[in-house]
Amino acid sequence: MSSVWTQARRAARMNPSIIREILKVTEKPGILSMAGGLPSADTFPVAELKAACDRVLTENPKEALQYAASEGFAPLREWVAQRVQSLGMQVTPDQVLITSGSQQGLDLVGKILCDAGAPVAVETPTYLGALQAFTPFEPIFTSLDSDEQGVDPAAIAKLPHDAPGTRFAYLLPNYQNPTGRVMSLERRQAAVAAAKAAGVPIIEDNPYGDLWFDEPPMPSLASMWPEGVIYLGSFSKVLTPGFRLGFMIAPPELYPKLLQAKQAADLHTPGFNQRVVYEVVRNGFLDEHVPKIRARYKANRDAMAEGLKQHLPPGCEWQMPKGGMFFWIRLPEGLNAMDLLPKAVDAGIAFVPGAAFYAHTPDPRAMRLSFVTLTPPQIEEGVAILGRVLRAALDDIGAESAP
């Protein structure tokens, strides 16, 4: 039957998220899933949110339930402007745009900065959700060489030659999803210097910055180049993702267009949610709450690090994440993470194949493991199962897999 609908050209580029499809499989009961990018639900401050809902609906019900300004709730914008001072940023509340999760920030960035065929540079690998957000606007992605410290400044420096007209470089300096890596101070300075010299502005995405384990995060890229960086932040990892609350901090030059895009996208982020979160955070709650999340996630990381050391066959490689939620494992030659996933699920565990996170040639040997949704004993058990799956696979290909 022929259809009466004609889809936009961009729609042909949009495809179901592999991660989403995988997560559906791993929602089977009994699976020890290290696949999800979900924060631990045990960290959600339920009592505080409940009290704040009650307070907002008692004290300001009509304002909280009415249409509101597209920019966001003014006191929350002020709070954000204050909060990012700890990252070295001096911004005014006028530069803060409240978004429906930082995912929406990526959509708005794509909308006002991406043209069909214009280059956009991303790390290798990079956050899958950003690729999905930018793709409908039909950019040509450039994959920037990256190492255990993140993006290689030399790759940025070459952009005017390799991809002239690059609209921006999308960078995740802190505990990147998927690799968990963090940019050193020197690397940040070098990357920003290269971007300035190349005339390539930066989108800095920082959902995980508060989840540091030993050292607080270094200054943001935005602090080093305020007029050349749009900074994206989120409440999803420090309070709750279920309120869908994020923010962007934009150079004054770009703010009006982002605001118009925001207004066209959903008029405004729910005013009720903004007021409730503001009630929770206004008096320093995060200063006591986030350290608890950090302590919990650090213990989980340690449990996974120990399990990986004990159970994974030789030839597996990984870095110790200094924060965030993820280990990034590179499997021995001959293994393919995507092919292994069904076997892993049969054995009772799940992970995300790394291939999902590449704009171009994926690394078939990479996988992402989250360490925050399981308990340490479950992590131990899950990693032990992973070890057995990998050893069996190595046996199948006849490789060396002695412990």
Of 8-16, 86-94, 281-289, 345-353, which segment contacts a second copy by CB under 8 A? 8-16
29 part of the interface to a second copy, by CB under 8 A:
no
Q: Which residues partner with 204 through β-bridges?
A: 171, 231
Which of 132, 137, 103, 105 lies closest to 119 in space, CA to CA? 137
Considering beta carbons, is residue 356 or 386 the nearer one to a second copy? 356
Residue in 150, 173, 271, 353 binding a second copy, rule: CB under 8 A: 271
248 touches 97 (CB < 8 A): yes
Tell me how far, at minimum, the Cβ of 316 lies from a second copy, in Å. Answer: 29
Residue in 26, 89, 98, 111 binding a second copy, rule: CB under 8 A: 111
Rg of the chain (C-alpha set): 22
Tell me how far, at minimum, the Cβ of 237 lies from a second copy, in Å. Answer: 11
Which of 396, 61, 49, 96 lies closest to 231 in space, CA to CA? 96
Q: Which residues partner with 330 through β-bridges?
A: 317, 366
Considering beta carbons, is residue 24 or 402 the nearer one to a second copy? 24
For strand 366-370 and strand 352-353, is the pairing parallel, antiparallel, or unpaired?
antiparallel
Residue in 8, 154, 295, 397 binding a second copy, rule: CB under 8 A: 8
Which of 242, 246, 327 lies closest to 84 in space, CA to CA? 246
> Of 117-136, which residues contact a second copy (CB under 8 A)?
118, 129, 132-133, 135-136
Q: Which residues partner with 121 through β-bridges?
A: 142, 169
Residue in 143, 260, 336, 378 binding a second copy, rule: CB under 8 A: 260
50 touches 65 (CB < 8 A): no
114 part of the interface to a second copy, by CB under 8 A:
yes
Positive or negative torsion for Cα 336, 339, 341, 344? negative
Residue in 180, 233, 241, 307 binding a second copy, rule: CB under 8 A: 241
Q: Which residues partner with 98 through β-bridges?
A: 247
Say how far apart CA 209 and CA 66 lie, in whole Å. Answer: 33
Tokens representing residue 263 in the block: 């207004």
Say how far apart CA 175 and CA 238 lie, in whole Å. Answer: 14
Tell me how far, at minimum, the Cβ of 216 lies from a second copy, in Å. Answer: 26
9 part of the interface to a second copy, by CB under 8 A:
yes
User: What separation in angstroms does the CA of 15 have from each of 112, 131, 135?
Assistant: 22, 11, 10
286 part of the interface to a second copy, by CB under 8 A:
no
Residue in 180, 270, 313, 332 binding a second copy, rule: CB under 8 A: 270
77 part of the interface to a second copy, by CB under 8 A:
no
Tokens representing residue 385 in the block: 């199962």
228 part of the interface to a second copy, by CB under 8 A:
yes
Buried b / exposed e over 71-107, threshold 16 CB at 10 Å, is: bbbeebbebbbebbeebebebebebbbbbbbbbbbbb
Of 59-67, 285-293, 326-334, 339-347, which segment contacts a second copy by CB under 8 A? 59-67
Q: Given the structure tokens 């043209």, which residue do they identify?
A: 115
Of 47-55, 140-148, 308-316, 359-367, which segment contacts a second copy by CB under 8 A? 47-55
Tell me how far, at minimum, the Cβ of 308 lies from a second copy, in Å. Answer: 25
Considering beta carbons, is residue 190 or 258 the nearer one to a second copy? 258
Considering beta carbons, is residue 50 or 292 the nearer one to a second copy? 50
Residue in 67, 283, 284, 403 binding a second copy, rule: CB under 8 A: 67
> Of 302-341, which residues contact a second copy (CB under 8 A)?
none
Site string for a second copy, 138-167 (x = CB under 8 A): ---------------------------x-x
Say how far apart CA 267 and CA 261 lie, in whole Å. Answer: 9
227 part of the interface to a second copy, by CB under 8 A:
yes
